[in-house]
């Protein structure tokens, strides 16, 4: 489908699809949580070995069954 920079703007384009979100801060986490209600599966790609988001957001991510977190991961290309 392509690349989007705004889950709330473009989220419906990804209804029932598998999507990836890059980042580990508050913005990426809240966008991933928003997408988890629309997409079938959300893969959260975190460059480091830990998220930098506030603890409450990190807890919400771990409680959300259709969000899969990948640590120490970077994007090499988008096809």
Digitized pLDDT (tens) for each residue of the chain, 79 residues in all? 689 999 999 999 999 999 999 999 999 999 999 999 999 999 999 999 999 999 999 999 999 999 999 999 999 998 8
- Of 3, 6, 56, 75, the catalytic one is 6
Residue 18 annotated among the catalytic residues of the structure = no
Residue 79 annotated among the catalytic residues of the structure = no
Give the residue extent of every domain in the chain. 24-79
pTM above 0.85, yes or no: yes
- Minimal CA–CA distance to 4: which of 24, 22, 16? 22
The CATH class of 24-79 is alpha beta
- Of 4, 10, 58, 60, the catalytic one is 10
Residue 43 annotated among the catalytic residues of the structure = no
């Amino acid at each position: 489908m392509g690349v989007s920079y705004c889950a709330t703007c473009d989220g419906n384009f990804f209804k029932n699809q598998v999507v990836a979100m890059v980042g580990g801060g508050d913005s990426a986490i809240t966008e991933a949580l928003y997408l988890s209600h629309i997409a079938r599966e959300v893969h959260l790609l975190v460059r480091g070995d830990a998220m930098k988001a506030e603890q409450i957001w990190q807890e919400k991510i771990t409680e959300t069954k259709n969000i899969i977190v990948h640590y120490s991961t970077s994007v090499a290309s988008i096809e």
